Chain A
Amino acid sequence: MRNFLLARLLQAGLVAVVVGALCFVLMRVMPGDAAMRIAAGRYGPDARIAEAAKMVRLELGLDRPLVAQFLEWLGNLLRLDLGHSLVTGSPVIHELKVQLGASVWLAASALALSLLIGPVIGLFSGLKAGGAIDRLGLAGAVIFRAIPPFVLGLMLMLVFSKQLGWLPPAGFGSAREMLLPALTLALGLAAMSSRVMRNSVAAVARAPYFAFARYKGLPESVVVRRHGLRNAAIPVVSYIALQAVYLVEGVVVVESLFAYPGIGHALVHAVVERDIPMVQGTALAMGLMFVVIAAIVDLLTHWLDPRMRRMA
């Protein structure tokens, strides 16, 4: 266990340095004058940007050598100081707290919703592989996986906000506002997890131990609960780690669409405004989200699958 945690910590540290360095280099090689962009980000497109840019350049020391600026960022990172946003002037860590909280909630709700939808459909599809439910499930999965999240989000807005008037199309602060963006992400996630669950349930249902449980005369619900669910869940849980990519990517799009002030939304703005500390901070937060999700998934599969524990 201790080795496991150490390895994960090491991984997190590596992610931090690599992501930070990559962001820094990429933002620097982008065309255009950073001071001008920061000024436009701060003072808007009607301001006297050239004059403002002169002040920005002085204030932020953008003329200093790049290596010095990067080493400074790295030194600060070791002290857990992510610096200040170049546009708003407030500490990056402070902005991240608010945004990361919002995004984690959104991602967690989306994941929870998708687990309510996907595996349940997958379970019923897998128990009767090739049946009507299975075929419907497949059609649904193909459709929801093929539609890009922003189109799906717009469609949900049109149906639930405009036609039915049940849910707000934008905003944040309560579960009502969270539902549409979370559902947008959840449908895409569920499309995949339902198929993974279906295949693994179908495989379990064909396994001899499952057949034996039925011969013993156990009721179907008990058979599924005792011999089916846990075995079938292992691939689904492993698959969640892969879904994290879809989730983090989806968060960026969905947050912009639903005016939801999370990490993705902040990242888009920071890139446009050349707010390097914010880009580094948000990218870092996203990178660490991957590490954390992967660690949780490892622990879960460990707990689900006794064979892994014997090997460890």
Chain B
Amino acid sequence: MPAPSGPCPPTFEWLGDAALSVHTPLARELFASLRAQPLPGVLEAVPALDLLTLLLDPPGAGEAVLAGVQTRLATLRPAPGGSGRTLVVPVTFDGADLAWCAAHAGLSGPAFVAALCAAELEVAFLGFTPGFAFLTGLPAALQMPRLDAPRERVPAGSVALGGPWAGVYPRPTPGGWRLVGRTSVNFFDLSRRAPVPWQAGDRVRFEARP
């Protein structure tokens, strides 16, 4: 018997002839399900916020994949509590935009840092550049508008705020978020067995370091 799909039914969007985007609050659960039990015709699944984009191979597999995803979603339930892991990221708060961000939040520098370290963040998804995680959970007061013109080069390890997100730039890249500090943790290290140390659902806390 098909279960009710919940208060927010999925919507589907074709992207070109070989991709299907599934918009659903169960995107993370669907991603985990497709990893555990792949669906024929899905070459790769790429998560974003409440969204999972499926790359199809062959392109014509779309209709069968769509039906398979609908069946799969009907069996999924929200999995609260994330991965159960918490990562503590040591941060030296000396970023170029720290003073601007504190002023924007109406806080003193130390109070802004304390508020940021108190925030319970969570890895929503990875993307943009290898090892880059979109961290959700910033209180509204700490959410910062993106820069009008992105910096051409943001140093590796930069801790930054942009829109609803916090993040760490693992490598020097162009970047449009506001820089509040830096960490020595390398979030894309190919010398490790697991080059990317975090995954969707991990809880993250910043810890101020001198």
Q: Do A and B bind each other?
A: no
